[in-house]
């Protein structure tokens, strides 16, 4: 792979005034970057004398211990925060939890956060969902070492919404999040305030995570390559950092602010009595009107605002939120191995795992796509007064193709998987590797298409691939045949053996997508990916599904909420999702990546340069 900084990039770095790169040091780090290579490091930002915050918070991350299970305390990484200036409700602790305190801000506030790293490794904090300048978005460029402080200063431009703060260091994001570093940000505005939605004790954060503990109550993480390739899955569900979570409620309406805080696990949330799930908001805040669903899909990084009305329920009654069964988010072989449903040749060879070089595939006590409880609601008090569900929630300006700068040429985000590699637009992450399609004109609204690059869907061949940087995505061959270099997959030359059972499963999963001839091993490894774009929220314009998606897609399709603002979207195998996203207010580097955080750390991450 060749690396260069062209003249326009030099101008961008110079104009930021942040001293982004010490040019004398370029050869060293450029030489080191192959695949997910080294990341240059910026000097920590300091407080500005001209910035006068309405809210100021001291935030530190450091090792800690928390009692999660009976017996020995668990070693974790934890955010701690202190309010320096601002309203008393700016910070709210979650009692007994390793999760960071909830930050609450008002649209229009000026905010300063003094972030100090007390870990034994570099880190930086990303404000997932917030519309902030590039240099305070938490790009890995700005990671700080132990003992250093980074000062974030920004104005809250977001509408009312639930957002996230979590680490974003190069190569170690998933590990730090898994060990505890995450917290919620609630933004309020006047439009939401007028609705008089449930608040105070009736507005409840629900952070869902899966974890794996050893016999000494210590967290286990990434035991083998399979745990990276498929994503890491625990065998115990925690809610707000607690196992076997139970919420005592009164017989009235509540507002549940739900976050999938897992690194990889996808949930299909439904009430156990089959009553509808009433959704009033998504990642980017309130919908226009409430939506009732039999279930809702929730991928890592996604949020839901749920109206949960327990009016009329008797004291002592219980309701369980479950994750219902579904299929297709993992390759068929991996799904079978997690459930232990494999036999014949598959069983003899470890379900194909060893032949694919993944190894370590084994049954799980909590398989992805199985049916299991998340938490229990118990009615403990009867009340007669409860707010009514508003018929109208908010006003959303809906983008059309006519609003976009590129209605006939969507910006491609091409997903591809292979052993040891997770790619976007045919390439692993590397700093200063901006493709032509990743250069976004400032103050434009862009049509974008997220799709699986392997297989034979008609539109996903040379036209899109050329736009993505002269990569022929349809057959996973680069224009210059760099198949074994910067992320191309020469699947035929990888020495992979496909047993009959595996081929049959691949055919069932990918039928209609070109069979094994189009995408080879890449297609066999096709899985669902939650794609997160930094910067402003976007709107989902359309979903298109290949005919071969079939039965698997039917198990999830009714659980998508596509009518509101989003920053993360789940893209199933065989699915193409078009989104419309504004790139306004701020120039610079903004990341986009898979929010299966193991995949992100393996290279499924890229930069947009807004210029």
CA–chain centroid gap for 297, Å, is 13
The pLDDT of residue 505: 33
- Structure tokens belonging to residue 501: 């059972």
The pLDDT of residue 452: 93
What region does 521 belong to: left with phi over 0, alpha with psi -120 to 50, or beta?
alpha
Where do we find the tokens 């998340």?
374
319 DSSP β-pair partners: 377
Query: What are the tens digits of pLDDT across the range 245-292?
Result: 999 999 999 999 999 999 999 999 999 999 999 999 999 999 999 999
Q: Span 369-382, mean pLDDT?
A: 97
Q: Span 174-196, mean pLDDT?
A: 97
The pLDDT of residue 418: 73
Where do we find the tokens 């999760």?
99
Q: Using the predicted structure, report yes or no on whether residue 355 has a pLDDT greater than 60.
A: no
The pLDDT of residue 554: 94
Q: Using the predicted structure, report yes or no on whether residue 504 has a pLDDT greater than 80.
A: no
The backbone torsions φ and ψ at residue 441, rounded to the nearest 5 degrees and listed phi first, read -60, 135
Q: Span 385-389, mean pLDDT?
A: 94
The pLDDT of residue 299: 98
Length of the chain: 611
Instruction: Say what the alpha-carbon torsion angle 177, 179, 181, 186 is, to the nearest 10 degrees.
Output: 80
Q: What is the mean pLDDT of the chain?
A: 83
The span from the CA of 125 to the CA of 533, in Å, is 16
Candidate from 42-46, 194-198, 351-355 with smallest mean pLDDT: 351-355
**16 or 206: which leads in pLDDT:** 206
- Structure tokens belonging to residue 242: 């607690």
Candidate from 168-177, 540-549, 570-579 with smallest mean pLDDT: 540-549
The span from the CA of 2 to the CA of 356, in Å, is 29
Instruction: Write down all domains in the chain, each with its CATH number in brackets.
Output: 1-32 (no CATH), 55-190 (2.60.40.420), 200-330+368-381 (2.60.40.420), 401-610 (2.60.40.420)
Q: Using the predicted structure, report yes or no on whether residue 55 has a pLDDT greater than 70.
A: yes
Query: What are the tens digits of pLDDT across the range 233-242?
Result: 999 999 999 9
In 375-512, which residue ranges form alpha helices assigned H by DSSP?
462-467, 500-510
What is the value of pTM for the model shown?
Answer: 0.83
- Structure tokens belonging to residue 66: 């928390």
**204 or 13: which leads in pLDDT:** 204
- Structure tokens belonging to residue 220: 């286990």
Query: What are the tens digits of pLDDT across the range 400-418?
Result: 999 999 999 999 999 998 7
- Structure tokens belonging to residue 387: 């707010």
| Per-residue DSSP letter, 144 | B
Q: Using the predicted structure, report yes or no on whether residue 512 has a pLDDT greater than 70.
A: no
HSE on the CB side for 76, CA within 13 Å? 27
The pLDDT of residue 420: 73
The span from the CA of 454 to the CA of 418, in Å, is 10
Q: Span 40-53, mean pLDDT?
A: 94
The pLDDT of residue 340: 64
Q: Using the predicted structure, report yes or no on whether residue 93 has a pLDDT greater than 50.
A: yes
Q: Using the predicted structure, report yes or no on whether residue 309 has a pLDDT greater than 60.
A: yes
The pLDDT of residue 173: 97
Q: Span 160-176, mean pLDDT?
A: 97
The pLDDT of residue 334: 75
**558 or 20: which leads in pLDDT:** 558
Q: Using the predicted structure, report yes or no on whether residue 342 has a pLDDT greater than 80.
A: no
Candidate from 102-106, 202-206, 281-285, 348-352 with smallest mean pLDDT: 348-352
The pLDDT of residue 37: 59
What region does 35 belong to: left with phi over 0, alpha with psi -120 to 50, or beta?
left
- Structure tokens belonging to residue 227: 């745990």
Candidate from 91-95, 193-197, 227-231 with smallest mean pLDDT: 227-231
**509 or 196: which leads in pLDDT:** 196
The span from the CA of 63 to the CA of 122, in Å, is 13
């Amino acid at each position: 792979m060749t690396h260069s900084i062209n003249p326009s990039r030099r101008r961008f770095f110079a104009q930021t005034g942040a001293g982004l790169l010490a040019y004398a040091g370029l050869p060293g780090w450029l030489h080191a970057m192959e695949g997910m290579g080294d990341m240059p490091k910026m000097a920590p930002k300091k407080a500005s004398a001209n910035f006068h915050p309405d809210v100021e918070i001291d935030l530190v991350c450091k090792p800690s211990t928390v009692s999660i299970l009976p017996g020995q305390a668990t070693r974790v990484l934890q955010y701690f925060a202190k309010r320096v200036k601002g309203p008393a409700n700016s910070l709210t602790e979650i009692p007994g939890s390793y999760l960071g305190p909830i930050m609450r801000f008002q649209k229009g506030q000026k905010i300063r956060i003094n972030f100090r790293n007390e870990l034994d490794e570099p880190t930086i904090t990303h404000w997932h969902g917030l519309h902030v300048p590039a240099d305070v978005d938490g790009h890995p460029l700005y990671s700080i070492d132990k003992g250093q402080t980074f000062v974030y200063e920004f104005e809250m431009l977001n509408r009312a919404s639930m957002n996230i703060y979590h680490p974003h260091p190069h190569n170690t994001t998933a590990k730090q999040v898994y060990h505890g570093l995450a917290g919620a940000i609630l933004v309020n505005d006047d439009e939401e305030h007028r609705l008089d939605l449930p608040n105070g004790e009736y507005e409840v954060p629900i952070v869902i995570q899966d974890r794996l503990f050893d016999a000494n109550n210590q967290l286990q993480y990434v035991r083998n390559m399979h745990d990276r390739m498929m994503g890491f899955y625990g065998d115990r569900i925690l809610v707000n950092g607690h196992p076997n979570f139970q919420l005592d409620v009164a017989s009235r309406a509540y507002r549940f602010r739900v976050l999938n805080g897992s690194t990889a696990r996808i949930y299909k949330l439904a009430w156990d009595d089959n009553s509808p799930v009433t959704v009033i908001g998504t990642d980017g805040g309130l919908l226009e009107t409430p939506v009732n669903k039999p279930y809702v899909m929730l991928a890592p990084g996604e949020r839901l605002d749920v109206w949960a009305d327990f009016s009329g329920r008797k004291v002592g009654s219980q309701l369980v939120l479950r994750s219902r069964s579904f299929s297709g988010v993992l390759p068929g072989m991996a799904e079978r191995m997690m459930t232990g449903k494999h036999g014949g040749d598959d069983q003899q060879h470890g379900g194909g795992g060893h032949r694919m070089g993944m190894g370590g595939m084994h049954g799980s006590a909590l398989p992805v796509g199985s049916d299991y409880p998340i938490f229990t609601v118990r009615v403990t008090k009867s009340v007669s007064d409860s707010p009514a569900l508003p018929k109208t929630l908010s006003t959303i300006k809906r983008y059309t193709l006519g609003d976009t700068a590129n209605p006939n040429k969507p910006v491609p985000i091409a997903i591809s998987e292979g052993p040891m590699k997770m790619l976007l637009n045919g390439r692993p992450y590397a700093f200063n590797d901006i493709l032509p399609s990743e250069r976004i004109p400032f103050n434009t609204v862009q049509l974008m298409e997220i799709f699986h690059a392997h297989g034979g869907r008609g539109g996903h061949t040379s036209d899109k691939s050329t736009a993505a940087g002269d990569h022929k995505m349809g057959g996973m061959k680069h224009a210059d045949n760099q198949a074994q270099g910067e992320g191309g997959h020469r699947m035929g030359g990888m020495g992979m053996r496909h047993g009959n059972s595996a081929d049959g499963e691949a055919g069932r999963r990918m039928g209609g997508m070109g069979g094994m001839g189009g995408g080879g091993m890449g297609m066999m490894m096709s899985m669902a990916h939650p794609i997160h774009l930094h910067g402003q929220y976007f709107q989902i314009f359309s979903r298109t599904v290949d005919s071969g998606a079939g039965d698997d897609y039917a198990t999830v399709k009714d659980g998508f909420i596509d009518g509101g603002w989003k920053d993360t979207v789940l893209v199933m195998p065989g699915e193409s999702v078009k989104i419309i996203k504004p790139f306004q207010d701020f120039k610079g580097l903004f990341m986009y990546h898979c929010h299966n955080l193991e995949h992100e750390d393996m290279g499924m991450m890229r930069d947009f340069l807004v210029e």
